[in-house]
Amino acid sequence: MSQLPRPSARISALLASTVLVLANLGSSASAAPSSLQGAFTSAAAEFGVPANVLLAVSYTLTRWESSDASKATGAFGPLQLVDSTNASFAGAKGDESAHALQSTSAGPTVAAAANATGATASELKSNARQNIRGGAALLAQYARDTVGSAPSDPAKWYGAVAKYSGSADAPIALGFADTVFATIAAGASRTTSDGQTLFLASSAVAPDRATATALQLRAGRDSAADCPPGLDCRFVPAAYQQNSSDPGDYGNYDLATRPSDGLDIRFIVIHDSEVSYDRTIQIFQNSLNYVSPHYVVRSSDGQITQMVQTKNVAWHAGNWNFNMHAIGYEHEGVAVHGTIWYTDKMYQTSAALTRSLAARYHIPLDRAHIIGHDDVPGPNTFFVAGMHWDPGPFWNWARYMALLGSPIRPTAQGGNIVTIAPNFERNRPQVRDCQGDGSLQAPQPANFVYLRTAPSFAAPLFNDPGLNTGGTDCANDWGDKAVTGQDFYRVDRQGDWDAIWYAGSKVWFYDPKGSDVVGTAGTVITPKAGNASIAVYGRAYPESISTRTMAQYSIAAGQRYVSYEKVKGDYYDAPTFNDLAHYSVITTPTEFYLIRFNHRLAYVKASDVDVVQD
């Protein structure tokens, strides 16, 4: 595991003395700490938890962030207290089923924290100081459960920290505790998105692993993980079981024999999890959550946990057509704080896995096939607005593609196809956290260019009809952002502005001296002569299954979009639990082109378009 930079001895001593002073100032339960650091020291003193343990647990879980970016997964605040009643993974399977997250495994729940502190559930979810108190109170309870007291020696808290993971599986619980104690050894410091600077002085603590014995954790499985040599990779299975008497009610994936069953693997989908590595894995171990990836990647050191065999169909993309043909990775992190979580080690190990799988399954190494969750279209009209936007604006697509050996660079000059390619380090547009407190985020490297209705910074941002937000600077508003590696047909240029066809409209982005794009060779489609407009689809299905479109969109005569491949419509019919012998792939002669339509991919019927070389 890679270590964080260790402060010098002099700085470490100064930090340690400052922590002690803060602890003395904030020792009263009724004290009102003047900072988030003060909230940690006050809570630690109130409940008898070593301050470095409490800080390291929070850093491992959230990097000390207080935003509620993880509320969709039911985890709140700097200590990630769990309230599953607010969580939902509806539509992860993407076949129009209405399954949603029902419950989570035992662990640091809002209800337990309320009982331990007297704070209300609302306070524990929305107030950082109360959330930290709740986490400290539960850690203290877990220490009493494991060693019979709340000892002053941080080493004796290993078992309590393992229990805080919420998992009964040794690889998950002990892995979480190991990460926390590695953070204590390394130390940490950072400024949160709301401007609060926190620090954890490095401390040589040898954890007493025997304190986890009382937890009676389940041993890990022996199944070998499917990873290339040289990676730290393990197999922890996602849940696969029937949830009720209905054989159609089961989780969290479908059995298959890809690609020998006819389901070719065409895509690798990059996600971020919005919660910690260990909690991410826990979510997929509960069959009532109806969601799974094939792999999970840890931020700190790039460790990989495989959870579903690649031959099977995991439920991750929110679009069954893409799930059928994809392998999905969850990356530990929170999208709006991407540059904190997306580490170089994570990029390297994720890319190494992708190189291996792409070679095996003949997946093209381009941004039409190595995609984000935010590239996946809504299956039909109803789902468009609710599709996920991860890994978000701060995932370094340029670096990732370069690590794959497929850097984003010019392949043609003077043509009309352009690939979005801003300089990641220098490109730092204004972005707002609209799923948190609405605050502007500190400038950080980003992967996109804003799209406007005219060639002027005074012009409104583009209002994608699938979202109908009016165009905003929100991180989750994918409709007005064109992202690194995406290909478009350039229809005009005025001064330093380019215009492209996008979501059925002509939109503009600032491109001084052509610096934010590269010229690309490729193929484009346009509606056949005589068609005033044509339909756009979120999936390539046989007509016998569905012919529904994304009704918010159409392509008018004369517009052009980049096309990547022609495929026949198909559908994997796997309606019931554990019946692989009776599952089947339904196909049709109807052909579709995969195109870059807006921020997302889409399909058009081959019979509706002409193909143009450009």
Please give the share of the chain, as a percent, with pLDDT higher than 70: 90
Q: Is residue 576 part of a domain?
A: yes
Interatomic CA distance for residues 90 and 104, integer angstroms: 15
> Which of 215, 243, 278 corresponds to the end of one domain?
215
The three-state secondary structure class of 283 is helix
Partnered with residue 494 across adjacent β-strands are: 497
Q: Of 99-113, 269-283, 597-611, where does mean pLDDT reach its minimum?
A: 99-113
Task: For residue 78, give Cα distances in angstroms to 68, 202, 355, 372.
Answer: 9, 20, 35, 27
Q: Which amino acid is at 309?
A: Q
Q: Give tens-digit pLDDT for 116-139.
A: 999 999 999 999 999 999 999 999
Do residues 15 and 30 make contact, with C-beta atoms less than 8 angstroms apart? Answer: no
Predicted pLDDT of residue 256: 98
User: Residue 28: is its pLDDT beyond 70?
Assistant: no
Mean pLDDT of 382-387: 94
Interatomic CA distance for residues 400 and 461, integer angstroms: 28
Average pLDDT of the chain is 90
Mean pLDDT of 350-367: 98
Partnered with residue 448 across adjacent β-strands are: 483
User: Residue 520: is its pLDDT beyond 80?
Assistant: yes
Residues 547, 424 within the same domain: no
Band of pLDDT at residue 94, cut at 50, 70 and 90: confident
Using alpha carbons, select from 301, 334, 44, 18 the residue that is nearest to residue 182.
301
Sign of the alpha-carbon dihedral angle for 358, 362, 365, 369: negative
Place of tokens 């009016």: 470
Interatomic CA distance for residues 419 and 489, integer angstroms: 9
CATH code for the domain in which residue 488 is found: 3.40.80.10
User: Residue 244: is its pLDDT beyond 60?
Assistant: yes
Identify the top-confidence range among 8-12, 412-416, 525-529: 525-529
Look up 543 and say whether it is catalytic: no
Structural domains counted in the chain: 3
Q: Give tens-digit pLDDT for 570-593.
A: 999 999 999 999 999 999 999 999
Mean pLDDT of 341-354: 98
Predicted pLDDT of residue 86: 53
Q: Of 102-116, 424-438, 531-545, where does mean pLDDT reach its minimum?
A: 102-116
Q: Is residue 227 part of a domain?
A: no
Band of pLDDT at residue 92, cut at 50, 70 and 90: confident
Q: Environment class of residue 534 by beta-carbon count within 10 Å: exposed (0-12), middle (13-18) or buried (19+)?
A: buried
Q: Is residue 224 part of a domain?
A: no
Using alpha carbons, select from 277, 336, 263 the residue that is nearest to residue 307.
277
Choosing from 46, 123, 274, 330, the catalytic residue is 330
Predicted pLDDT of residue 21: 30
Predicted pLDDT of residue 435: 87
Q: Is residue 221 part of a domain?
A: no
Q: Give tens-digit pLDDT for 314-343.
A: 999 999 999 999 999 999 999 999 999 999
Provide the 8-state DSSP code for 469. S
Do residues 397 and 483 make contact, with C-beta atoms less than 8 angstroms apart? Answer: yes
Mean pLDDT of 366-379: 98
Interatomic CA distance for residues 474 and 463, integer angstroms: 13
Predicted pLDDT of residue 1: 33
C-alpha R_g of the chain: 25
Q: Is residue 594 part of a domain?
A: yes
Q: Is residue 181 part of a domain?
A: yes
Residues 176, 323 within the same domain: no
CB atoms within 10 A of CB 414: 5
**Two tokens, residue 262:** 């006819």
Do residues 462 and 505 make contact, with C-beta atoms less than 8 angstroms apart? Answer: yes
Residues 270, 320 within the same domain: yes
User: Residue 103: is its pLDDT beyond 80?
Assistant: no
Predicted pLDDT of residue 91: 63
Interatomic CA distance for residues 508 and 488, integer angstroms: 12
Band of pLDDT at residue 71, cut at 50, 70 and 90: low
The three-state secondary structure class of 571 is strand
Mean pLDDT of 75-86: 84
Residues 480, 558 within the same domain: no
Do residues 126 and 178 make contact, with C-beta atoms less than 8 angstroms apart? Answer: no
Using alpha carbons, select from 130, 9, 147, 152 the residue that is nearest to residue 79.
130
Per-residue burial over 248-278, b = 16 or more CB atoms within 10 Å of its CB, e = otherwise: ebbbbbbbbebbeeebebbbbbbbbbbbbbb
Residues 240, 135 within the same domain: no
Mean pLDDT of 487-504: 97
Residues 237, 208 within the same domain: no
User: Residue 549: is its pLDDT beyond 80?
Assistant: yes
Predicted pLDDT of residue 26: 32
Do residues 401 and 485 make contact, with C-beta atoms less than 8 angstroms apart? Answer: yes
Residues 173, 239 within the same domain: no
Q: Give tens-digit pLDDT for 142-153.
A: 999 999 999 999
Residues 521, 584 within the same domain: no
> Which of 525, 557, 579 corresponds to the end of one domain?
525
Residues near 540 by Cβ (< 8 Å), separated by ≥ 6?
321, 567, 568, 569, 570, 592, 594, 603
Residues 504, 549 within the same domain: no
**Two tokens, residue 331:** 């990356």
Sign of the alpha-carbon dihedral angle for 339, 343, 348, 353: negative
User: How, if at all, do strands 497-502 and 505-510 pair?
Assistant: antiparallel
Do residues 597 and 270 make contact, with C-beta atoms less than 8 angstroms apart? Answer: no
Please give the share of the chain, as a percent, with pLDDT higher than 90: 81
> Which of 188, 215, 242 corresponds to the end of one domain?
215
**Two tokens, residue 594:** 């995969």
User: Residue 104: is its pLDDT beyond 50?
Assistant: no
Do residues 238 and 284 make contact, with C-beta atoms less than 8 angstroms apart? Answer: yes
First-to-last CA distance in the chain? 48
Mean pLDDT of 203-214: 96
Q: Give tens-digit pLDDT for 146-195.
A: 999 999 999 999 999 999 999 988 989 999 999 999 999 999 999 988 88
User: Residue 70: is its pLDDT beyond 60?
Assistant: no
Q: DSSP string of 481-500?
A: EEETT-EEEEEEEETTEEEE
Residues 439, 549 within the same domain: no
Residues 168, 265 within the same domain: no
Interatomic CA distance for residues 152 and 117, integer angstroms: 21
Mean pLDDT of 94-99: 61
Mean pLDDT of 273-287: 93
Predicted pLDDT of residue 72: 60
Band of pLDDT at residue 459, cut at 50, 70 and 90: very high
User: Residue 20: is its pLDDT beyond 50?
Assistant: no
Predicted pLDDT of residue 437: 81
User: Residue 23: is its pLDDT beyond 50?
Assistant: no
CATH code for the domain in which residue 206 is found: 1.10.530
Q: Environment class of residue 108 by beta-carbon count within 10 Å: exposed (0-12), middle (13-18) or buried (19+)?
A: buried
Predicted pLDDT of residue 194: 83
Do residues 147 and 162 make contact, with C-beta atoms less than 8 angstroms apart? Answer: no
Mean pLDDT of 385-414: 95
Sign of the alpha-carbon dihedral angle for 559, 374, 295, 261: negative
User: Residue 5: is its pLDDT beyond 60?
Assistant: no
Q: Is residue 204 part of a domain?
A: yes
**Two tokens, residue 57:** 């647990």
Predicted pLDDT of residue 547: 78
Q: Of 99-103, 219-223, 441-445, 607-611, where does mean pLDDT reach its minimum?
A: 99-103
Q: Which amino acid is at 114?
A: A
Residues near 148 by Cβ (< 8 Å), separated by ≥ 6?
none
Residues 444, 396 within the same domain: yes
Q: Is residue 1 part of a domain?
A: no
The residue that leads in pLDDT, 283 or 16, is 283
Interatomic CA distance for residues 438 and 324, integer angstroms: 36
**Two tokens, residue 63:** 């990097």
Range of the domain at 246: 233-525
User: How, if at all, do strands 304-306 and 233-235 pair?
Assistant: parallel
